Chains A and B, each alone.
Chain A
Amino acid sequence: MNDWLDTALDELPGEAAPSDFADQVHVALAAEGQSILRGFGFRRLGQVAAAIFLLVGGYWLGQGQSWQATRDVSQAKLTAMELSEIAALYENREILESWELLENSSLSASSSDGAAATWMLEAFPLKEEGSQ
């Protein structure tokens, strides 16, 4: 339906783009690409700087010492209490190991010899009354 309104609307011309518009789009795209790269560069630089800061800061806080887990106890300066506790630990370990050896040998004896059910008595003889 073409009436006077359509004819009137046709009087309004379109607008042509500037002749260098396509070039402008390419320039804008190139500039955008560079700014993205620049942004990426700054981000990477920041990440590297943060990593270096953490490493240096951590080393400084640790005062250059090696890892705590690998420290040799024999080289450390220990207090008397710590030394006595370590000695007690060694002593207890000795006792436990001897009990373990004793127990194993006694168990095998009891399983093979029914008459040897008194292995506990053999291992731990009762003190006779009157003896000290």
Chain B
Amino acid sequence: MLAFQAGDESAFDSLVKEYQNAAFAMLRRILGPHAMVEDLAQEAFIRVYRAKSRYRPAGKFTTFLYRITYNLALNRVRDDGRHRLLSLPQSPEGEPMPLPDPKAEKPWKAPNRANWADHVAQALQALPRNQRSALVFQHYDGLDLVEIGHILDVPPPAVKSLLHRARENMRALLQPLKDAEQDE
């Protein structure tokens, strides 16, 4: 980014190629399987391009990119009113709704490596947005509390609390599937 800021236009191309997969993966995990992430990722990199003169290397470039991308995603969800389409139904208190009963006969089938991914994606979407985002940034992108707080615009202790609740909720959601897997 510093090279790009110094006038090297080809450095922007390198930035896009280096971070495009990270941006896509982050958007998919946070917005869910049905979201249109391509135009959001594209808009995020266009904003990075526009922010050339304003960029200050205070932290990792990833944090800078994720903050832009995350805010774009939030705006898109709010503007389109698509949050109900992008995540599973939630209780009025924002608590996660339970996954399908693993003991039910159909259409349930015992989890294996292939459909664990589906269950995890579904469970992630059942989390309240802040918890889901915090967990994604920590687990998949390896960001620390300060960096996550910078992206979500909350202080680090609040991030810690979000992560704790996210993990508890994920355990509650996935435990029955894990038990069912062990019973097989």
Contact = CB atoms under 8 A, between A and B. Distances in A.
A9 B16 contact: no
A29 interface: yes
B16 A13 contact: no
Give the top 3 A-B pairs by smallest Cβ distance, nearest first: A14-B25, A17-B20, A11-B116
A114 interface: no
B29 A12 contact: yes
Contacts of B25: 14-16
A5 B167 contact: yes
Interface of B: 13, 16-17, 20-25, 27-29, 37-38, 41-42, 45-46, 49, 113, 116-117, 119-121, 124, 135, 139-140, 167, 170-171, 174, 178
A5 B171 contact: yes
A28 B46 contact: yes
Given A4-B178, A14-B28, A22-B16, A9 B139 contact: yes
Given A5-B174, A18-B38, A25 B46 contact: yes
Contact of B24 (A11, A16, A22, A24): A16
A21 B116 contact: no
Interface string A16-51: 111001101110110010000000000000000000
Contacts, number: 73
B117 A12 contact: yes
A120 B29 CA distance: 108
B178 A21 contact: no
Contacts of B49: 25, 29
Nearest to B43: A28
Nearest to B168: A5
Nearest to A26: B13
A8 interface: yes
Contacts of B27: 15
A61 B162 CA distance: 72
Contacts of B42: 21, 24-25, 28
Nearest to B14: A22
Contact of A21 (B16, B121, B139, B174): B16
